[in-house]
Amino acid sequence: MKNTEAAKTRRKADLHTPSGLGADATRDISAELNALLADTFALYLKTKNFHWHMSGPRFRDLHLLLDEQSEQIFEITDDIAERVRKIGGTTLRSIGHISRLQRLSDNDADFVTPQDMIAELREDNMRFIASLRETHGVCDEYADVATASLIENWIDQAERRAWFLFEIAREK
C-alpha cells in the first residue's frame, strides 16, 4: 500500500530539476529557449517543405542542399529542449504550443519558385540568427555559460546556412 501511495505522489510531483541558476534565470532562459525551439521547428519544416517541392533546372543541387540544411536544423531541437530541462524548465508539448510561440512565418503556398524559396530561407535564417543572439544575451545576464556556448555553435551553423543561401541566389 505504501508503494502505491509513493508512486501516486511521484506522478503528481513537479518536473523540478535542481539548477544553480535560480528561479528568475530558469524562467527567463527557458522562455527564450522555448521560443527558439518553436522557431527551430518552423524553420526545419519550411526548409523540408521547400526541399520536397523544389523544381527546375537546379533541382538536384538545391534539393540536396535543403535536405542537408534541414537535417542540421532538426539536430539542434533535442539539444534546445534538453537544455531547458537541465536548467529546471519545461518545454514544448505540442504543435499548437509551437505555433503559439514561433516567430518565423509559415509558407503554405501551393507553388514557390526556387529563387523565392532560397530568398525566404535566407531571410528566415537571418531572423533565426538574431533570435539566437537575443537568447545569448539573456544567458549572459544570468551567467549561463553552458547555454551561451551551445548558442554560439548554433549561430555559426545558421550563419553558414545563410551564407550558402545568399551565394546561391546571386545573379552575378
| Mean pLDDT (whole number) for 154-159 | 98
* SS3 (DSSP) at 24: helix
Please tell me the predicted confidence (pLDDT) of residue 8.
Answer: 62
Please tell me the predicted confidence (pLDDT) of residue 3.
Answer: 73
Please tell me the predicted confidence (pLDDT) of residue 6.
Answer: 67
Query: What is d(CA 25, CA 101) in angstroms, rounded to the nearest whole number?
Result: 19
What is the dihedral sign for C-alpha 33, 36, 42, 46?
negative
Contact 139/151 with Cβ under 8 angstroms?
yes
| Mean pLDDT (whole number) for 112-128 | 98
Interval 20-40: pLDDT, tens = 889 999 999 999 999 999 999
Please tell me the predicted confidence (pLDDT) of residue 4.
Answer: 73
What number does CATH give the domain 20-169? 1.20.1260.10
32 or 11, greater pLDDT: 32
Rounded (10°) angle between helices 114-141 and 145-169: 160
The residues spanned by each domain of the chain are 20-169
